[in-house]
Structure formats: structure tokens, C-alpha cells
């Protein structure tokens, strides 16, 4: 049996995979493949509407916010956010708490001034630096809610009087959280929300239309809102898989249930790491991610045989990110507790053999 710990594209619920596979052959008994479905048909509009409604329901968002499904993934938002929100002479505040926050603020520099108010590189991104001051005239504050590579997570968001922008790509819909504390949320779908190829943007409408620079039409959030996410051909299949995944989250008990499951999985894994002296988790306990646990073997020479054992036993995708190394175990919504139990048993076996 395989256990899919990939960090993204990542594990999806089996029922979603089954329904998506059937739709590729024959969508809803229409005789057409989902891949052949016109994006301006009533059938696709129903898919899009259900997906948007599910997002608002899970986030408990009111009509101040608009939901968009766009091309490009979260990395495109590194430029699209400042393009829409940051004037040339204005300043945006960024938290550099990992590789993705670092990339985001560097892209923003193309559009205005950037103040890095929280720099986690000073301790190798092993904690979230929360004690910082945001310039009162900043256009917005940008955070990455979960750092997939480094294994850190914001467990509560910074309080600020300026608009808060959050890249939630790797922990969106994994727990109840203060979505309405944010003015703009974006997330690539391929962790907790579906297949790669679509990006979710949830934006407060009164945040837009306030900068002086011309914005290319395809990059303008307001134009996408006016077009109902149909300005150009959307990634129909990816939107459909997102809709199925959001439907599954609701049917399984919503964010309360996802949060309960994810807390159980991450607690089991971190407790196992701490109980076995041959492993070390460097992230500050209060900032540990429930989605991506990063740890190391104290004897670096044991890393290769440990990863070889994981591969032999069907533990897929546990090698750490190339710039960090070590081991990374991703435990997204669809990951069953049983897989984490089996992984912890493997860790215990390896420690008994090599400890």
C-alpha cells in the first residue's frame, strides 16, 4: 500500500478521484467528457457557482467579498497582488517567514516600495517572527499562513489596521480560522483544495480600484469580478476538482472536522519525533505546522538509509525540500490518520535498528 505524503500536488480524497475520473469519460451522463465541456455552458456555470458558494460557506464570508478562480497558481499572485494594490510611490509590508514569502516580496518590488517587517532568515526560518512594527501608511501587510518548505505556520494572524493579504496555499480549509480578518486571500489549489492548475482568490471588493497605474486587463481583479471568472477560458477540469473537494469537506463536517483530524495527525507525528532521540524537529513548538512537519536525523549519515526504507515501505514524497534537506511529511486534509500511524511505526522501527 502506498502512503502519499507529497507536499503538492498532493493527496486527494478517493471519492473525488473517482468522480473526477468518471467525469473525464462522461460528465453527468451528458455523453461529453468534462474536458470537452464549454466553459460558457450552463453545466460549467453550475460547477463554478457551487465552488464559489462552498468557498463562502466554509469561510463564512459575506457579500463584501468576491470569489475568483484564476489561472497561474499562487506564484502569479506574487505580482498580481501588488499590481492591483500597490502604487509606485507607496510601500507594502511583507513578512519573510520562508521561501514563498521571500519570493513574494521580491516580486512586489517591481511595483512599489517594500518594507520587510519580519525576517525569519535570521534563525533559518525555524520560527515565525511575530514582534514587528508595520508602517502606518503601508498599503497592506502580506503573510504566508503556512510555510510548506520550512514547516512553520501562523496559528493566529497579526492584528493590523491596514489590509491583510494572506497566501494560504498550503493550509487553506484545513481548520477554522479568522478568514474575515483578511482583505485578500489567495491559494493554489493543489494542497487542500483540488488539482494543480487553478488559483483561488477571495478579495474584499472595496480594496480595489485605488491605484493610479494602468493594469493589464487579464491581471485586473475588478475585470475578473465583472466577468465572473470567465474573462478567458478557465481551467475547467481544475475548477471541477476543486468543487468536488470543497463539497467533500462540507460533507465530512466542514472546517471543525478538518481541524480535529489535522490536529490528531500532527500531534501524533510530533510526539513520535520527540520520543525518539535520533530525530530532531528544529521548528519552535508554538509555530509548528499541522500541514508540513520538517525534521532531521541527528546523524546525517542515516538520512539516506531512512529515506530508502521509506521508499521501500511505500512512503511517498517524504524527502525534504531541496534547499532544506531532511525529512518532510505533508499531512493535508485527505491524508488518513492511519497513514501517519504507519509512518510513525516506521520511524520507531528505524530508531530501534539504528539508535
**Degrees (nearest 5) of the Cα angle 307, 309, 314?**
95
Kindly tell me the sign of the dihedral angle through the C-alpha atoms of 120, 124, 128, 129. Answer: negative
CA–CA gap between residue 335 and residue 262 (Å, rounded): 9
CA–CA gap between residue 273 and residue 347 (Å, rounded): 8
β-pairing verdict for 279-280 and 292-297: antiparallel
Q: Which string of DSSP letters, residue by residue, matches 114-176?
A: EEEEEEGGGGTT-S--------TT-S-EEEESEETTTTEE-SSPPP-SS-EEEE-TTTTTSS-
**Catalytic center residues:** 100, 167, 191
Question: DSSP code of 277?
Answer: T
β-pairing verdict for 141-144 and 164-167: parallel
CA–CA gap between residue 72 and residue 186 (Å, rounded): 11
CA–CA gap between residue 215 and residue 213 (Å, rounded): 6
Amino acid at each position: 500500500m502506498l502512503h502519499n505524503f507529497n507536499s503538492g500536488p498532493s493527496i486527494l480524497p478517493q471519492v473525488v478521484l473517482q468522480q473526477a475520473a468518471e467525469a473525464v469519460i462522461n460528465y453527468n451522463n451528458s455523453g461529453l467528457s468534462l474536458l470537452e465541456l464549454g466553459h460558457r455552458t450552463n453545466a460549467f456555470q453550475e460547477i463554478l457557482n457551487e465552488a464559489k458558494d462552498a468557498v463562502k460557506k466554509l469561510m463564512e464570508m459575506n457579500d463584501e467579498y468576491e470569489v475568483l478562480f484564476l489561472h497561474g497558481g499562487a506564484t502569479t499572485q506574487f505580482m498580481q497582488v501588488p499590481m492591483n494594490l500597490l502604487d509606485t510611490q507607496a510601500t507594502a509590508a511583507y513578512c519573510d517567514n520562508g521561501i514563498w514569502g521571500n519570493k513574494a516580496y521580491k516580486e512586489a518590488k517591481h511595483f512599489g516600495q517594500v518594507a520587510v517587517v519580519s525576517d525569519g532568515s535570521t534563525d533559518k526560518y525555524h520560527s515565525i517572527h511575530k514582534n514587528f512594527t508595520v508602517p502606518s501608511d503601508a498599503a497592506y501587510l502580506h503573510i504566508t499562513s503556512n510555510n510548506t518548505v520550512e514547516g512553520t505556520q501562523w496559528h493566529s494572524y497579526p492584528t493590523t489596521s491596514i489590509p491583510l493579504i494572506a497566501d494560504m496555499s498550503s493550509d487553506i480549509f484545513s481548520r477554522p480560522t479568522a478568514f474575515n480578518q483578511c482583505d485578500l486571500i489567495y491559494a493554489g489549489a493543489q494542497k487542500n483544495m483540488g488539482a494543480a492548475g487553478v488559483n483561488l482568490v477571495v478579495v474584499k471588493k472595496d480594496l480595489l480600484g485605488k491605484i493610479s497605474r494602468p493594469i493589464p486587463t487579464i491581471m485586473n481583479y475588478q475585470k475578473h469580478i465583472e466577468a465572473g471568472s470567465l474573462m478567458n477560458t478557465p481551467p475547467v477540469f481544475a475548477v471541477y476538482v476543486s468543487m468536488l473537494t470543497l463539497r467533500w469537506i462540507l460533507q465530512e463536517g466542514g472546517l471543525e472536522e478538518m481541524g480535529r483530524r489535522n490536529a490528531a495527525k500532527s500531534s501524533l507525528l510530533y510526539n513520535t519525533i520527540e520520543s525518539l532521540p535520533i530525530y530532531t524537529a528544529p521548528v519552535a513548538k508554538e509555530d509548528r505546522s499541522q500541514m508540513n512537519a520538517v525534521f532531521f536525523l541527528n546523524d546525517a549519515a542515516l538520512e539516506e538509509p531512512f529515506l530508502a526504507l521509506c521508499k521501500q515501505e511505500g512512503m511517498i514524497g517524504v524527502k525534504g525540500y531541496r534547499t532544506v534537506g531532511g525529512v518532510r511529511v505533508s499531512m493535508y486534509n485527505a491524508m488518513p490518520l492511519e497513514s501517519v500511524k504507519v509512518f510513525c511505526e516506521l520511524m520507531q522501527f528505524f530508531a530501534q535498528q539504528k539508535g
